[in-house]
Each structure stands twice: as C-alpha cells, then as structure tokens.
Amino acid sequence: MLSTFDQIAAEGRDVTVDADVVVVGSGAGGGAIAAELAEGGRSVIVIEEGGHYTSKEFGLDAPTMIKKLYRNAGSAPILGKPNIIFSEGRCVGGSTVINGAMSWRTPDKVLKRWQWEHGLDDMTPEKLDPFFTKVEERVSVGPQDPESIGEDARIMQRGADKLGYAWVPAMRSQKHCCGANNCAFGCPTDAKQSVLVTYVPRLLAAGGRLYSGCKIDRVTTDGQRATGVTGRFRHPVTGKRGPKLTVRAKVTVIACGAVQTPVLLLRNGLTNSSRQVGKNFLCHPNSKVVGVFDKPIHAWKGTIQGNQIREFIDEGIMITTSMVPPGLLAMSFPYFGAQSWDVMRDYDKMLAAGCLVEDTGSGTVGVDLFGEAKMRYDINDRDFNNLIRGVALTSEILFASGARRVLMPFDFLPSIDSPDQIASLFKHPIPKDEVECLTVHAMGTCRMGVDKRSSVVDPRGESWDVPGLFVADASVFPGPIGVNPQITIMALATRTGRWLLDNEARYFA
Amino acid sequence: MSALGPWSRRVVGALAEVVLPVGDGVPPVATHAIVDFVADYVPHMPRLLALLFPVGLMMLELGAFFLAPSLVPFSAMSLARRRRYVDGWVHARWRLRRDLIKAVKGLCLLAYYSDARVGAKLGYTVESHVADVSAERLRRHAQHI
C-alpha cells in the first residue's frame, strides 16, 4: 500500500505503525532490500522523503523535473578544490529514477581489494554471483536494442576504434529502451527499469507499505537495539508540514544514500564509535568535454550512454557520452550574452562526453547549521592528474571522431581547435579550482569492514554499535568501484536482506 | 514560492539583461520570466545556499561601487558597463566571485535555453522525438513490454 503526503495530510492524524522492518529510503538499496524482505514474508515499511511520481507525470521540461525529482534541485555543492556539483534523486525510486541505468557488476579487481585491504572475505565474484544474477533479472539488465543507440555513441565508438581504444556496449536496466534520452528527468516510457517500476511494485504486491513525502529525523533505540524511526510528513515540493510518523520495528534499515545516511546517523549520534561515519567520502569526480562537429548529429537523441570506453579503466579513468538538454549545457559554459549564443547555436552539432575518475583520495560528509549535509572533498594530486588526463583523452577521441572544436571544462582554456593543442594541458600546472567538476556517485561514508575500530558496519551491513540497525546503500562501500554503482548497491542490499531472512530467530523472534 | 524580494529580483533582472543572448535571429525571452524562474529555483537549493543567495546578489550590486568602480550600483549601470563589470566577475582572481557569478549566470542561462522556443531554434525538438520513439517502441515491442 502506498500513502502519499496528500493522503496522510488529508486524514490529519499522526501515524504510528509496527513492522518487522522499516527501511528509510526507496532508492537502489532501500528498494532492493525492502522487496527482498517483503517477498520473504516480513512486514516491511518503506519511508521516502521525496514524492511519488509515475511516468505520466514525467514531463520533458528539464528544470521542472529537476525541482521535483532531485534533492535541492540538483544544486548541492561539495566544497573543496575544485567545488563539485553533486546531484541525487529525492523521489520514490531515488536516484534510479534519474540516473542513466548503467548496470555493471563490481569489477573483480575492486572485490579483491575489498578482500585484501578490508578483510571482506565473502566479497568474491563467486559468492556475490547469486545476488548479482537476481538483481540483474529483477531490473532487466541487458544490451540496448540497436535502434536506440544514438549518433553520439556511434561517433565516439568510431573515434575510439580509430585510436585503438577498447570500448564496451552499454549494459543497462531497461526493457526495449527507445532512446528518448530523458533518463535524467524520469523515463517517459517506463522502459528504464528503475526501482520505481521494479522493486516498488514487488514490495507493494508482497504486502509492503510505502510512505512518501515523509522525512525521518530520529532513529529510535531502547538503549541498546534499534527500535524504529520517527519523522514528519512534509510536502516534497513546498515543504509544508504534515502529521508525525512513528514506526516501531525489529530491524531498522537506513538506505538514504552515501550523503544523507551519515547525516541522519550523525544527527542522532549513532553508531559512530569508530569516528568513521561521514568519513571516506568517495565521489568519482568527473568532467564534461563537448565536441562540436560540422554537421548536425542530434546527440540528444538516442540512449543516454550507448557504450563506455574502457581502455583506461585500470588507470581509473572511464569515458562515455552524456548529452543533456540545451539549458544544462549552456549553464556549464563560461560564456554569456552574444558569445553564449554563438556557441550554443551549434547545440545540434554538439556531443557531450564525460570522463570519470576512480578516486584514491576521499572527503567528508558532516552536518551544517540547519541539519543538512555539509560535504567537503579536495581532490588529491593523483586523481586530479587523472582527471586532466581523462579530459585530454576524451578530447583526443572527439577529434579523432571528426570534431572541429572541443569545449573544455576549464575556465582558463574554454576551447581548443586541434588535437595538437591537447599537449598544452600538461605544459603548466592547472589550478584545481579552474576545473568544472560534477558527480552523481557518492560512496563510502559508512564503510563496512571486519574491524569495528575502522568501519561503521560489519560485513553484513549491521552497525557495530547498534544491533538491529543496518545500512543498505553505497555508504557501505569500503572503497570506490570505478564504474556506475547501481548494481553493486542493489546486490549488497539484497545480500543483507537475505542475511536477515536466513537469521530470523536472531532478528525477528 | 519565492525566496527573493523586490530588491534581489531587480539585481537578477539586471544581470539577466547582460547574460541573455540578444541579436538577429535570437529568440527573445522576457526578463521577468527569467527572474521568476530564478526566484522559483532558489527555495529548492540547500538552505544555507538559499539564505546566502541574496547576500551574493548584494555583493554583486554594491560591489560595483569599488570594483567597477561606479557611482551607482550594478542594477543602475548602463548595459555596456554592466557587461564589462560581469566579465570582470567571470574572470576574477577571487574564486568566490567567480563561483557566485557562475551560479547566478548559470540559472539565468538555464532558464533561457530551457524555453521551448529557444530549444526549437537550436533544433532540440524533444517532444516530437519522444512521441516518435515511444510510438516506434510500441510498434516493435508491444508484445514484450
């Protein structure tokens, strides 16, 4: 059963409910674990701060949808050198509603690092395979239908082939995606298999309950164990206050993402004996590079990412296409006035690509004066050099693809007109705050491990300090994964759900 | 819902006149529409940023006295002077100035280029594209979806 803010506010009464499990957050982690537990016979309540929207309500005006579907309208800054713009979903389905649905298993090399460096012996490809398989089936992971691949992906592919760079076709959670390329603002056709159209229906069909438009403020305990949560219904857009919600549960799962989960725990002063909550903040910093071609290429048509260039993945660099509507592209350029139009008039000839860096450094997430997230991340020299190298390689591929001009993510060098100019990026040190950076991948802020002095949760996702309190989102990653994290989040959350079902006597007696 | 008072709206409007493209063949979008867009956007920002937004506008407005330098505030300067002044902020050595102008300028440009007429002029006909590919998807795959 789904209850929205409007329904609860109309009733006008505070709500108190009991359940076996309460899950805070309905994104990749929350959705997956909630459905797993509900289908395993447990009574499950999911609470989502954002609103519930279906594809019928997904419009094509990007700013309107950003205000509805994104936390802070996608404008949360991670302060540091450089400042990084962080975007995440805040709606039923979480960031899966607004992401590109890229679906990769955790790379073997990453799992090996987690085993060796964090003692997570069960994190082997073999032991995780059943969870990956289950998740991939649930969200329909597969290659794109050829007709949905956009010209941008084909152009990048040709450039990579010319240079001998390896690429892989996109694996995405989708059913016959038609290349509307509106993934970031809610899929208008329901082809994208977000949590909204996969795990949420499964949860509800299994008797689970979902409250949307409710912000959780407190995780309650009896002094030892977690006993549930309390919060208040708030209109997801206007913030209007509604009745209070109290959920009493045997197990409490926090799955608000790697930024909001540590904020909730820090505000409650919970599970931080290791002093690691909010630390180890990883974000895969990435930068955008735009190629301008001689002819219209309609890069805004076709699936958001048709392939990924993986030639440099072992160096921590991944390159792919990611075209956005004109407004979002224009605001990222340093131009204004007539100069802006001179550049943007070629929008239909532009191809936006991005390079993502697997971070070796980390930042922090804390709580600001208003109880909101305060993110800090200074990119380290190694990662910064990798980012510049990624920009250079992306530019090289764009020129090899036939671009006549490449628009760069640097204030001091807005564009270059020939591949010969790429070398200029390495001639002088580039100030870190001169680079445009953004991210949609947050990880690591409640990392799992085998040593409670250096981790927040145990290898199953349960708090070392508060029994019955679990974390099931990218917070638990002990390190970066270098690829899109959705499938890893879902697989680990499913694994935690399975653990709870297999240990009923311990948690639900 | 608006977090901007009349004074802030005037500064945003003065900035929008500088930032928005003008010229032959450039679709016009009314300045007040841009101001409304920005005013509607600000309350969605993180609370601290939303509170600091008018402070930043005040810096832009009053900074004209000593940064331009000018005898009148930013919003009362001629368009040509405002353009030079904004250019100074875009290329300022002090990062806070660059970041501030980037944010406000970015919102104005987001508003402008998100206007359907501007999008159509750029060849971004997203509604017809989505209608076409959605229909084609149903034609090809109706039995499997």
Considering only the C-alpha atoms of chain B, give the largest distance between any 2 of them, rounded to a whole number of Å: 71
Residue with tokens 């789904």: A2
- 3-class state of residue A3 by DSSP: strand
Instruction: Kindly state the average pLDDT of the residues A23-37.
Output: 98
- CB-based contacts of A8, cutoff 8 Å, min separation 6: A15, A211, A213, A214, A233, A242, A243, A245
Whole-angstrom Cα distance, residue A207 to residue A343?
Answer: 53
B20 and B88 assigned to the same domain: yes
Please report whether residue B1 resides in a domain: no
Are B72 and B139 contained in the same domain?
A: no
Which residues are registered as beta bridge partners of A59? none
Domain ranges of chain A: 2-52+91-99+104-138+194-273+446-508, 143-183+283-439
What's the whole-number average pLDDT of chain A?
96
Q: How far B71 CA sits from the closest chain A CA (Å)?
A: 24
Q: A2-52+91-99+104-138+194-273+446-508 sits in which CATH class?
A: alpha beta
Structure tokens at A21: 């499990």
| Strands annotated E in A276-378 | 286-292, 307-309, 317-321, 350-357, 364-367, 373-376
Residues B102 and B142 in one domain: no
**B66, two tokens:** 């000593």
Whether B32 contacts chain A with CB within 8 A: no
What would the pLDDT profile of A232-274 be if each residue is shown by its tens digit?
999 999 999 999 999 999 999 999 999 999 999 999 999 889 9
For residues B26 and B97, membership in a common domain is answered with: yes
Q: Does B42 contact A at CB distance below 8 Å?
A: no
CB contacts of A372 in chain B (<8 Å) are 46-48
Residues B101 and B128 in one domain: no
The share of chain A scoring above pLDDT 70, in percent, equals 100
Examine the domain organization and report whether B91 and B128 are in the same domain.
no
Q: Token pair of A103, please?
A: 């679906």
Q: How many CB pairs under 8 A join A and B?
A: 145
* Burial of A238 per CB tally in 10 Å (0-12, 13-18, 19+): exposed
Q: Which residue of B has its CA nearest to A433?
A: B95
Spatial distance between the Cα atoms of B9 and B13, rounded to a whole number of angstroms? 6
Task: Please calculate the CA angle A256-A143-A395 and round it to the nearest 5 degrees.
Answer: 80
Is residue B48, in this structure, part of any structural domain at all?
yes
Domain count across chain B: 2
- Read off the pLDDT band of B2 (50, 70, 90): low
Phi, psi of A250 (to 5 degrees): -80, -30
> B101 and B74: one domain?
yes
Write the ipTM.
Answer: 0.95
Query: Which residues in chain A have Cβ-Cβ distances shorter than 8 Å to B140?
Result: 145, 147, 176
One domain for residues B40 and B56: yes
Say yes or no: B40 and B92 in one domain.
yes
**B72 lies in a domain?**
yes
Report the top-level CATH class of A143-183+283-439.
alpha beta
Q: Which amino acid is at A9?
A: A
Q: Per-residue pLDDT tens for A426-485? A: 998 999 988 999 999 999 999 999 999 999 999 999 999 999 999 999 999 999 999 999
* A70 exposure class (CB count in 10 Å sphere: 0-12, 13-18, 19+): buried
Do residues B99 and B32 both lie within one domain? yes
Co-location of B25 and B81 in the same domain: yes
- The predicted-structure confidence for B6-59, as pLDDT tens digits, reads as follows 999 999 999 999 999 998 899 999 999 999 999 999 999 999 999 999 999 999
| B133 contact residues in A (CB cutoff 8 A) | 148, 178-180, 189, 301
- Decide if B27 touches A, using CB distance below 8 A: no
Query: Which whole-number Å values give the CA distances from A248 to A19, A258, A311, in the listed order?
Result: 6, 24, 50
- The answer, yes or no, to whether residue A345 has pLDDT greater than 60, is yes
pLDDT digits (tens, 9 = 90+) for A393-429: 999 999 999 999 999 999 889 999 999 999 999 998 9
Catalytic annotation present for A441: yes
Choose, out of A75, A189, A376, A437, the residue to mutate when testing the contact with B (most B CBs < 10 Å). Answer: A75
Q: How far is B46 from chain A, CA to nearest CA, in Å?
A: 6
Q: Which amino acid is at A308?
A: Q
Q: What is the pLDDT of residue B1?
A: 47
Is B20 a domain residue? yes
Where in the sequence is the domain holding B139, given as residue range(s)?
121-145
Instruction: Tell me, yes or no, whether B10 and B71 share the same domain.
Output: yes
